[in-house]
Amino acid sequence: MSTDFSLPTEDAVPSNLPIARISVTAAEWLSTTAWLHAENARLLSLWGTDDRDRDGCFRIYGVWLLPKRVILLEHRILDTAQACYPGVADLFPAAAKMQRAVHDLLGVAPDTGDPRGWLRHDGWPETVFPLRRDFNGASEFAVAPKPYPFVQVQGDGVHEIAVGPVHAGIIEPGHFRFSVVGEKVLRLEERLGYTHKGVAKRFQHLPQLDGHRLAARVSGDSAVAYSWAWCAALEPLCETVCPPRAASLRALALEHERLANHLGDLGALGNDAGFAFGLTQFSGLKEALLRVNAEIFGARYLMDYVVPGGVVREVPGHAVSRLCSFYDQLEPSVAQMRSIYDEHAGMQDRFRQTGRLEQPVAERLGALGMVARASGISCDLRRDLPWTPYDRLPVRVATQANGDVAARVQVRFDEIAGSLELCRHLVGDLPAGPVQNPMTAASPNLLGVGIIEGWRGPVMIALETGSDGAIRWAHAHDPSWQNWPLLERAILGNIVPDFPLINKSFNLSYSGQDG
Partner 1 sequence: MFDVLSRMMRTGILSESPEASLDDLQKGIYRTVGRALAIRQLDAGSCNGCELEIQALNNPYYNLEGQGIHFVASPRHADLLLVTGPVSVNMEGALLRTFNAMPDPKLVVAVGACGACGGIFGRSYACRGAVANVIPVDVTVSGCPPEPRKILEGIFEALRAKGSSVTEG
Which is nearer to partner 1, 27 or 142 (by Cβ)?
142
**Which span (48-56, 75-83, 246-254, 298-306) binds partner 1, by CB under 8 A?**
298-306
State the number of binding residues for partner 1 (CB under 8 A): 61
Which is nearer to partner 1, 447 or 487 (by Cβ)?
487
Site residues for partner 1, 402-431, by CB under 8 A, read none
Q: Is residue 337 at the binding interface for partner 1, with CB under 8 A as the rule?
A: yes
Contact 218, 197 (CB under 8 A): no
Alpha carbons 417 and 291: distance in angstroms, whole number: 20
Q: State the minimum distance, in angstroms, from the CB of residue 134 to partner 1.
A: 13
**Which span (19-27, 202-210, 313-321, 407-415) binds partner 1, by CB under 8 A?**
202-210
Q: What are phi and psi of 458, to 5 degrees?
A: -70, 130
Which is nearer to partner 1, 113 or 165 (by Cβ)?
165
Instruction: Choose among 395, 50, 127: nearest CA to 255.
Output: 395
Contact 439, 240 (CB under 8 A): yes
Q: State the minimum distance, in angstroms, from the CB of residue 118 to partner 1.
A: 11
Cβ-based neighbours of 205, under 8 Å, separated by 6 or more: 137
Which is nearer to partner 1, 35 or 135 (by Cβ)?
135
Question: What secondary structure does DSSP assign to 452-497, as a single string?
Answer: EE-SSSEEEEEEEE-TTSSEEEEEEE-THHHHHHHHHHHTTTSBGG
Contact 435, 314 (CB under 8 A): yes
Q: Which of 138, 154, 317, 432 binds partner 1 (CB under 8 A)?
A: 138
Q: Which of 195, 354, 402, 503 binds partner 1 (CB under 8 A)?
A: 195
Contact 446, 464 (CB under 8 A): yes
CA angle 37, 41, 46 (to 5 degrees): 90
Q: Which of 97, 217, 350, 472 binds partner 1 (CB under 8 A)?
A: 217
Q: Is residue 339 at the binding interface for partner 1, with CB under 8 A as the rule?
A: yes
CA angle 374, 375, 381 (to 5 degrees): 65
**Which span (9-17, 30-38, 136-144, 314-322) binds partner 1, by CB under 8 A?**
136-144
Q: Is residue 312 at the binding interface for partner 1, with CB under 8 A as the rule?
A: no
Cβ-based neighbours of 392, under 8 Å, separated by 6 or more: none
Can you tell me whether residue 242 is helix, strand or coil?
A: coil
Q: Is residue 135 at the binding interface for partner 1, with CB under 8 A as the rule?
A: yes
Q: Is residue 3 at the binding interface for partner 1, with CB under 8 A as the rule?
A: no
Alpha carbons 203 and 214: distance in angstroms, whole number: 7
**Which span (20-28, 160-168, 240-248, 371-379) binds partner 1, by CB under 8 A?**
160-168
Alpha carbons 224 and 465: distance in angstroms, whole number: 23
What element of type H or E holds 427? helix 405-428
Which is nearer to partner 1, 108 or 218 (by Cβ)?
218
- Measuring CA to CA, how many Å separate 234 from each of 161, 237, 254? 45, 5, 18
Q: Which of 27, 111, 134, 170 binds partner 1 (CB under 8 A)?
A: 170
Q: Is residue 172 at the binding interface for partner 1, with CB under 8 A as the rule?
A: yes
Provide the angle, in degrees to the nearest 10, between the axes of the packed helices 244-272 and 499-506: 170
Site string for partner 1, 23-42 (x = CB under 8 A): --------------------
Q: Which of 12, 166, 324, 441 binds partner 1 (CB under 8 A)?
A: 166
Q: Which of 8, 18, 182, 220 binds partner 1 (CB under 8 A)?
A: 220
Q: State the minimum distance, in angstroms, from the CB of residue 139 to partner 1.
A: 5
Residue 77 bridge partners (DSSP): 58
Instruction: Choose among 27, 87, 81, 39: nearest CA to 62.
Output: 87
Which is nearer to partner 1, 196 or 472 (by Cβ)?
196
Site string for partner 1, 227-266 (x = CB under 8 A): -------------------------------------x--
Q: State the minimum distance, in angstroms, from the CB of residue 15 to partner 1.
A: 25
Cβ-based neighbours of 437, under 8 Å, separated by 6 or more: 240, 241, 242, 243, 246, 309, 310
Alpha carbons 449 and 12: distance in angstroms, whole number: 11
Site residues for partner 1, 105-124, by CB under 8 A, read 121, 123-124
Site residues for partner 1, 343-362, by CB under 8 A, read 343
Q: Is residue 300 at the binding interface for partner 1, with CB under 8 A as the rule?
A: yes
> Alpha helices, DSSP H only, in 275-317?
276-296
**Interface ranges with partner 1 (CB under 8 A):** 121, 123-124, 128, 130, 135, 137-141, 143, 145, 165-166, 168-173, 193-199, 201-202, 206, 210, 213-214, 217-221, 223, 264, 277, 280-281, 283-284, 286-287, 290, 300-301, 303, 336-337, 339-340, 343, 509-511, 514
